[in-house]
Amino acid sequence: MGATDPRRSIPSVDRLLERPWCRDLIAAHGQSWITGRLRAVLDEMRAGRRQVPDTDEGFAASVRTEVAHASSPSLRRVVNATGVVLHTNLGRAPLAAEARRAMAAAAGYGNVEFDLRTGERGSRYHHCVELVRELTGAEDAVVVNNNAGAVALALTAFAAGRGVAVSHGELVEIGGGFRIPEVVEAAGARLVTVGTTNRTRRADYRRATERGDVAAILKVHRSNFSMSGFTEEAELAELVELGAAHGVPVIHDLGSGLLVDSAALGLPYEPTPAESIAAGVDLVAFSGDKLLGGAQAGVLAGTAAGVARAKSHPLCRALRSDKVTLAGLEATLSLYRDPERARERIPALRMIGTAGRRLERRADAVLAAVGRRGAGLRRALRAEVVAADSLVGGGAFPDARIPTAAISLGAGERAEEWLARLRAHDPPVIARRRRGRLLLDLRTIAPEEDAVVAAALASLAASVP
Ligand SMILES: *Cc1c(COP(=O)(O)O)cnc(C)c1O
């Protein structure tokens, strides 16, 4: 270290701890944690990885930046401008205001396992059941942590140590790591594949059940891909009939949990849990946070005997959902008592159903707001409103393209840098690339977030040379 090395002027931790600005930080974050942050900052300065400021304000700014960075929560709210409604990486379904309020209220004490009428111990598995029964026609239901858990629980309770018949064409992988053959194996059951990839008939299932040791028939909804051409699959009702004849329960892994008519959302046909129940399956499993639009949960609905068997298995306790989730799911489900209200109040359904013209008007208004913040800002981004396609996401409706309006930015070579700048905004704005441009799809941006998007775009534009 030479005589002119600025590192000679680095103060000690003890000296910084006495500065008034440091006392403010200690009041907010505690002495020992702030001491640790100070050490980290000074160590980086000594190692030459961080510039040494030449004033006390400079040190204060360095430490404040470090503290702000280290104390910001890991899980943060973001603006989803990707146009993928059920974006798995961005938390799938955004919850309705009714659900958010119910979840905040449930965060304190609640009658989770307490019967308010009798004052005695109640059951956590009691909540949401009446609503699921109403909405699906099932005799009974149990809510667990997620749909993967619901399927694993059903298979474990019914088929551990025995065979599960599944069509070759339904040995699917959904999302990260949910692969039917592996789930069957994890349930301690043996996979008995029937039929072929493109064609599986009732007779294929019959041969498997007649060979014996098939403890359950599992039908899996091909959520995230479609098959066309010469294909054939057995109807649920046929499997139910076959199962009844051989005393083999039918379990239906439905995935999405859509509780309204898909045509009312402008989407192609998608089966509902009520249809599975009407077809007579023993259990149907579906997600709470896909097209149902609620909190992360898995619902197993079906016959009283089927649900009782699942509930009495020890795995059910390991998969139980917490009070906040149950409150969010209950509030969401209760919106479905009026399907029209569900489509208006549940954000995922509302987003899917919003007309492109309305999104175009909002996109125009956001760009106009950017223009008002400074002449030339909009030009710096080479911003325009374009037509694009939104996706349902969440592994549902893989082929559906929903016409939408997006703000398109001419980022050219700097697309990665601009995406990163939008992510660095508070709150982060997540956009997507289309060739050399960035797209911000209005469909997945809540109208009350338009101002945030305008601010993020204005600050991006201000940073563009
Ligand atoms: C999404 C899906 C699952 C997994 O559901 P999670 O809620 O992610 O656990 C299982 N099966 C099917 C058919 C699905 O679509």
Cα 465 from Cα 451, distance rounded (Å): 24
Residue-wise pLDDT tens digits, 312-363 = 999 999 999 999 999 999 999 999 999 999 999 999 999 999 999 999 999 9
Q: Which residues pair with 199 in a beta bridge?
A: 232
Q: Which two tokens stand for residue 61?
A: 């700014």
The minimum-distance atom of ligand 1 relative to the CA of 150 is 9
pLDDT above 70: residue 439:
yes
Distance 41 CA to ligand 1 centre (A): 45
pLDDT in tens, 13-34: 999 999 999 999 999 999 999 9
Average pLDDT over residues 278-299: 98
Atom 13 (ligand 1) nearest CA: 255
CA distances from 138 to 260, 273, 277, 305, 412 (A): 16, 9, 6, 11, 54
C-alpha 257 – ligand 1 centre gap (Å): 10
Report the nearest atom of ligand 1 relative to the CA of 224.
Answer: 15
Give Cα separations from 390 to 131, 262, 370, 406 (angstroms). Answer: 31, 16, 23, 9
CA of 237 to the centre of ligand 1 (A): 22
β-strand pairing of 163-167 with 190-194: parallel
Place of tokens 């911000």: 440
Return the ligand 1 atom nearest residue 151 CA: 10
pTM for this entry: 0.93
Between the CA of 246 and the centroid of ligand 1 the distance, in Å, is: 28
> Residue 424 above 80 pLDDT?
yes
β-sheet bridge partners, residue 403: 389
Mean pLDDT, range 121-131, rounded to an integer: 96
Model confidence at 376: pLDDT above 70: yes
- Does residue 92 contact residue 85 with C-beta atoms inside 8 Å? no
Beta carbons of 349 and 261 less than 8 angstroms apart: no
User: Which residues sit with their C-beta closer than 6 Å to ligand 1?
Assistant: 146-148, 151, 174-175, 178, 220-221, 223, 253, 255-256, 287, 298, 395
pLDDT confidence of residue 1: 54
pLDDT in tens, 244-274: 999 999 999 999 999 999 999 999 999 999 9
Omega before residue 314 within 30° of 0, cis:
no
Note the pLDDT tens digit of each residue in 160-200. Answer: 999 999 999 999 998 778 999 999 999 999 999 999 999 99
Summary mean pLDDT of the chain: 95
Q: Atom 2 of ligand 1 has which residue's CA nearest to it? A: 255
Atom 15 of ligand 1 has which residue's CA nearest to it? 255
Contact (Cβ atoms closer than 8 angstroms) between residue 115 and residue 122: yes
* pLDDT value of residue 396: 83
Q: Which atom of ligand 1 is nearest to the CA of 394?
A: 1
